[in-house]
Amino acid sequence: MNRSDIELIFETADNFKTVLNRPIKKVPSLRDVTIANIFFENSTRTRLSFELAEKRLSADVVNFAASSSSVSKGETLIDTVNNILAMKVDMVVMRHPYAGAGIFLSKHVKAQIVNAGDGAHEHPTQALLDAFSIRERYGDVAGKKVVIVGDILHSRVALSNILCLKQLGAEVMVCGPTTLIPKYIGSLGVKVEHNLIKALNWCDVANMLRIQMERQDIKYFPSLREYTMMFGLNKQILDSLDKEITVMHPGPINRGVEITSDVADSKQSIILDQVENGVAIRMAVLYLLAGQTQ
């Protein structure tokens, strides 16, 4: 995606956000379009957000959970999706534990595929809604300093955010334990910092990521308690900074680990705005992609 693609999605999302704040929150834009939500991994916010976006656009929605499907009987990904498409489904929203699953699928089936997260690789709509939320808060993303703190190594949100923010002209820094910062990260044109206070004093926006225990096959740091002491954001740290920064989190929040409750619920936090913007962004993505299919 290039900058003009992202700006087009943002402008479309602006219009849909107006729709979402009306008493009647529905538009007939995708009437008679059928969308399948295929989730091979657990999800709350993303699945609900996509489903709401689809219903607000008047699409017909089919939900599919891999754990209760024929995938558990050994059916392949392509067969699963082709069977769903044979029932005349127009678009597929997919989350998968393996990197590149969405790209792979798009080369083998005739349907629009929306990536709702592929393993530790990318999560494009999350990056779009994060950048959209920064734009909403500051008026523009260009020139803003954004630090992404936490488990960068296993985070699909971090990679997509870096790529999206760089396209929009923001400065990006990553901060976390050395073991959770990927070796190649410098090649993406981002700064690296291991001191949380220095990173927070540098930034305008701090995006706090959770530690992804379910993706960690070895111990990357001694304990969660030590991680919290070194990289957890609390109100005391927030109040001690030279300026007022904006705090973001893609969710789910592990309160008391990467971020304390008083920070998550403070006026500097735009975490719930991100969730609200997620529906508008996903409406925009689905609407623009559906226009390509017709």
* Binding annotation: 45-46, 73, 95, 123, 126, 156, 210, 251-252
Binding residues for L-aspartate: 73, 156, 210
Q: Locate 118 and state its tokens.
A: 């592929």
CA torsion, points 53, 56, 58, 63, in degrees to nearest 10? 40
Structure token digits, residue 93:
């929203």
Q: What's the token pair of residue 15? A: 């219009």
Nearest CA to 108 out of 77, 86, 87 is that of 77
- Counting beta carbons within 10 angstroms of the beta carbon of residue 242, is it exposed (0 to 12), middle (13 to 18) or buried (19 or more)? exposed
| Euclidean distance between CA atoms 98 and 79, whole angstroms | 17
Q: Is there a contact between 203 and 147 (Cβ–Cβ < 8 Å)?
A: yes
d(CA 53, CA 49) in angstroms, rounded, equals 6
Cα–Cα distance between 120 and 215 in angstroms, integer? Answer: 8
- The whole-angstrom separation of Cα 210 and Cα 69 is 29
3-class DSSP assignment, residue 104 = helix
CA distances from 163 to 129, 187, 218, 249 (A): 13, 12, 27, 17
User: What residues form the annotated binding site for carbamoyl phosphate?
Assistant: 45-46, 95, 123, 126, 251-252
The DSSP bridge pattern shows strands 145-149 and 191-193 to be unpaired
